[in-house]
Amino acid sequence: MIPTITAFEQSPDRGRGLARDMRVRWALEEAGQTYAVRLVSFKEMKEPAHRALHPFGQIPTYEEGDLALFESGAIVLHIAEGHPGLLPDDANARARAITWMFAALNTVEPPILDRGIAMMLEHDKAWFQERLPLLEGRVRVRLGELSRRLGAADWLDDAFSAGDLLMVTVLRRLSGSTLLDEYPNLAAYVARGEARPAYQRAFADHLSVFRGSQPPRETNST
Amino acid sequence: MIPTITAFEQSPDRGRGLARDMRVRWALEEAGQTYAVRLVSFKEMKEPAHRALHPFGQIPTYEEGDLALFESGAIVLHIAEGHPGLLPDDANARARAITWMFAALNTVEPPILDRGIAMMLEHDKAWFQERLPLLEGRVRVRLGELSRRLGAADWLDDAFSAGDLLMVTVLRRLSGSTLLDEYPNLAAYVARGEARPAYQRAFADHLSVFRGSQPPRETNST
C-alpha cells in the first residue's frame, strides 16, 4: 500500500527544503518506499478536513490505509520501524538512535526555531536587535554541545540513522545564517547528510513542487 | 535489572514536579518497574562524567546494564516498549500514541517553554511586558487546538498512553498561570493524569528528595 503524505502547495522558504515534509520524504527515500503527495494550501491547512488529520493544522501528515499520523518525528519513526536502513537491529543501538531523534526535536530544534520565529515575526519590534544575541547564544550552547559529542565521527551513533536524519534537518534550519559555520564538524555533518542519494531525491521532489509551472495537486514519487 | 535514572539534587521549581525526571518516574510507576535514582547537582550536570551520559548536561538520564539513554521522551518510549500499560497493542493505535508523544514535545511544549524561559530569563528586560502577550497568544493557539481535539474524551486517543503521560507533564508547565483554566477540558485532563496512582507515587518520590532533611544521594523507588 502506497502511503500519502501532505506538503505545502507553496514554499514558505523559497524552496530551501526547510519544511517538515522534507524529513518524511527523506525517510521514505532511505526506506525505498514509493509514496504519493497531496499538496495543501496555507488556507486548506487550517480547515476542518485537514484538521481531522492534523489537529494543529500543519504539514506533513501520513495516511496509509486505516492509519493516519501527523508529527514529522512520529512519521519518521513509523517509517523507520517498518523498513530497514533507518534504525539499527541491535536493541541498545536502536534505543540510542531514537534518543537522538528526540534530542533533535526537543533539545536542539527549540532554540533554533525560536531564533527563526523571532527573525520572521519580531524583526520589526523595538527589542529585536537587542534580543537576537540572547537567542543566538542559546543556539550556540546547543551547537557547541552537539559538536563536542559528534567530534570526528560521521554520524551521532556509529551508522547513519533516523536520529541523524532528523538532526540534519534541524540544523539545516540555520541555513542563511553563519552560526553553523562556527562548528566545522557540524557543517560537514549536514553536508554529509545532504549528499546522501536519498536526500538528493527527496530534495529534488520537494523542489519540483515549487519549480513546476503547474504542479500537479497529487503526485507519486520514488 | 533495576534501571538508574538521574534527577536534580535541588528542585528548580520548589517541588512542583515540573522537572523532566517526573516523566520518567511516572512512566516507570505505570510500568510497575522498580528503579534507582542518582541525584546530581547543577554543577555536576555540566561536568564531563555526566556529559558522557547526557551530551547536553541535563537530567534525566537512564542507565540499564550496557544501555545509557537521555531525553525524557526517548526514555519514556523505551520504558513503554518494554512493559505493558503505556502503548496499545494494536499497531495503528500504537503509532497514534507515539504521534501524541512527539506532538507533546515538538508542537505543544515549545511555545509553553518559550513563555517559561521569558518569565525566568527575560523578566527584567525592557521588552518583557510588551512581549508577554505575544508569547501567551502562541500558547493559546496550541491549547485551543488541543482542546478542540480532546473534546469530551478522557484521553487523546481512547485509552491512556505514553502520549497522554507526556502531554500532561507538558501542560503542567503552565501551573502558576491561569492559561490552562481558560480551557476547562484541558484542566480536567491534567487533573485526570495527576489523579492516577502511578502519578501520585512518582510525585511523592520526586517531592521527598526536596522535603527530606538529608536526602540520600542514591535511592530505590517503587
Q: Element (H or E) spanning A84, and its range?
A: none
* Chain B residue closest in CA terms to A148: B55
**Band of residue A212 on the pLDDT scale cut at 50, 70, 90:** low
At residue A61, φ and ψ (nearest 5 deg) are: -120, 170
Least confident range of A176-180, A210-214, B9-13, B178-182: A210-214
User: Averaged over B24-52, what is the pLDDT?
Assistant: 96
More reliable by pLDDT, B222 or B207: B207
Residue B42 touches chain A, beta carbons under 8 Å: no
- Facing B56 at nearest CB: one of A77, A113, A142: A142
User: Averaged over A151-163, what is the pLDDT?
Assistant: 97
What pLDDT, on the 0 to 100 scale, is given for residue A210?
79
Q: Cα–Cα distances in Å, from B12 out to A141, A203, B16, B19, B210?
A: 20, 43, 9, 8, 10
Inter-chain contact A98–B92, Cβ cutoff 8 Å?
Answer: no
What pLDDT, on the 0 to 100 scale, is given for residue B81?
97
Residue A131 touches chain B, beta carbons under 8 Å: yes
What pLDDT, on the 0 to 100 scale, is given for residue A11?
75
8 Å CB contact between B218 and B6: no
Give the amino acid at B8.
Answer: F
Residue with cell 535489572: B1
In chain B, the percentage of residues whose pLDDT exceeds 90 is 82
Report cis status (omega within 30 of 0) of the bond before A197.
no
What is the residue-averaged pLDDT of chain A? 93
Looking at the predicted structure, is the pLDDT value of residue A200 above 70? yes
What pLDDT, on the 0 to 100 scale, is given for residue A115?
95
Interface test with B, best of A106, A130, A146 (most B CBs within 10 A): A106
What pLDDT, on the 0 to 100 scale, is given for residue A221?
61
pLDDT tens by residue, A55-94: 999 999 999 999 999 999 999 999 999 999 999 999 999 9
Q: Element (H or E) spanning A40, and its range?
A: strand A35-40
Report cis status (omega within 30 of 0) of the bond before A215.
no
Euclidean distance between CA atoms A165 and A29, whole angstroms: 11
User: Averaged over A187-208, what is the pLDDT?
Assistant: 96
Q: Cα–Cα distances in Å, from B113 out to A73, A98, B169?
A: 19, 22, 12
Residue with cell 535511592: B219
User: Averaged over A187-207, what is the pLDDT?
Assistant: 96
User: Averaged over B31-37, what is the pLDDT?
Assistant: 96
In B46-197, DSSP assigns E strands to 61-64, 67-70
Residue A125 touches chain B, beta carbons under 8 Å: yes
DSSP string, A97-159: HHHHHHIIIIIIHHHHHHHHHHHHHSTTSTTHHHHHHHHHHHHHHHHHHHHHHHTT-SSTTSS
Euclidean distance between CA atoms B42 and B184, whole angstroms: 36
Burial A55-94 (b: 16+ CB within 10 A, else e): bbbbbbbbbbeebbbbbbbbbbbbbbbeeeebbbeeebbb
Sequence-distant (≥ 6) Cβ neighbours of residue A120 within 8 angstroms: none
8 Å CB contact between A63 and B42: no
pLDDT tens by residue, A42-51: 999 999 999 9
User: Averaged over B74-92, what is the pLDDT?
Assistant: 97
Residue A42 touches chain B, beta carbons under 8 Å: no
- Please give the angle made by the CA atoms of B66, B70 and B72, to the nearest 5 degrees: 130
What pLDDT, on the 0 to 100 scale, is given for residue B219?
63
Q: How many CB atoms lie within 10 A of CB B15?
A: 16
What pLDDT, on the 0 to 100 scale, is given for residue B217?
54
Looking at the predicted structure, is the pLDDT value of residue B114 above 70? yes
At residue B159, φ and ψ (nearest 5 deg) are: -80, 155
More reliable by pLDDT, B206 or B144: B144
All domains in chain A, ordered by first residue: 4-85+198-215 (3.40.30.10), 91-196 (1.20.1050.10)
Interface test with B, best of A72, A75, A79, A107 (most B CBs within 10 A): A107
8 Å CB contact between B139 and A110: no
CA distance A180 to chain B (A): 17
Euclidean distance between CA atoms B5 and B28, whole angstroms: 10
Residue B135 touches chain A, beta carbons under 8 Å: no
What pLDDT, on the 0 to 100 scale, is given for residue B116?
92
Q: Cα–Cα distances in Å, from A132 out to A119, A129, B171, B176, B183?
A: 9, 5, 28, 28, 33
Least confident range of A204-218, B1-15, B35-49, B148-162: A204-218
Question: Which chain A residues have a beta carbon less than 8 Å from that of B24?
Answer: none
In chain B, the percentage of residues whose pLDDT exceeds 70 is 95
What pLDDT, on the 0 to 100 scale, is given for residue A35?
97
Q: Count of CB contacts below 8 A, A vs B? A: 119
- Facing B145 at nearest CB: one of A56, A107, A142: A56
- Facing A145 at nearest CB: one of B55, B95, B121: B55
Question: Which chain B residues have a beta carbon less than 8 Å from that of A75?
Answer: 99
Looking at the predicted structure, is the pLDDT value of residue B216 above 60? no
Looking at the predicted structure, is the pLDDT value of residue A161 above 60? yes
Looking at the predicted structure, is the pLDDT value of residue A172 above 70? yes
What pLDDT, on the 0 to 100 scale, is given for residue A213?
39
What pLDDT, on the 0 to 100 scale, is given for residue B13?
76
User: Averaged over B192-197, what is the pLDDT?
Assistant: 98
Euclidean distance between CA atoms A181 and A69, whole angstroms: 35
Euclidean distance between CA atoms B71 and B56, whole angstroms: 10
Residue B71 touches chain A, beta carbons under 8 Å: yes
**Band of residue A214 on the pLDDT scale cut at 50, 70, 90:** very low
Burial class of residue A184 in the structure, from the number of CB atoms within 10 Å of its CB (0-12 exposed, 13-18 middle, 19+ buried)? exposed
CA distance A203 to chain B (A): 23
